[in-house]
Amino acid sequence: MQIPVVVLSDRPARTQHVLDVDLPADRPLDILYAPEVGEMLHQLRDQMRIAQNRNEVA
C-alpha cells in the first residue's frame, strides 16, 4: 500500500509535491539506511527547501 507524503508550498499553501512511499507499514528501523529511502528523503528535503524559497544547496 502506498502512503502519500505531501509537501505544501509557502503561503498560500498549495500542494507542491506528492511522493508515494511504497514501503510496508510494519518496517524495521534499519530500513532508514536503504538507498531507496535515502533517495526519498533527499527528494523531500529538496522540495521543502524550494517550498521555503531557499533554493541554495545545503
pLDDT tens-digit profile of 13-39?
Answer: 899 999 999 988 888 999 989 999 999
Q: Tell me what pLDDT residue 57 has.
A: 55
* Burial environment of residue 52 by CB neighbours within 10 A (0 to 12, 13 to 18, 19 or more): exposed
Sign of CA dihedral 19, 25, 29, 34: negative
- With a pLDDT cut of 90, the percent of the chain lying above it is 62
- Read off the C-alpha cell for 17: 509535491
- C-alpha Rg value of the chain to the nearest Å: 13
Q: Tell me what pLDDT residue 56 has.
A: 57
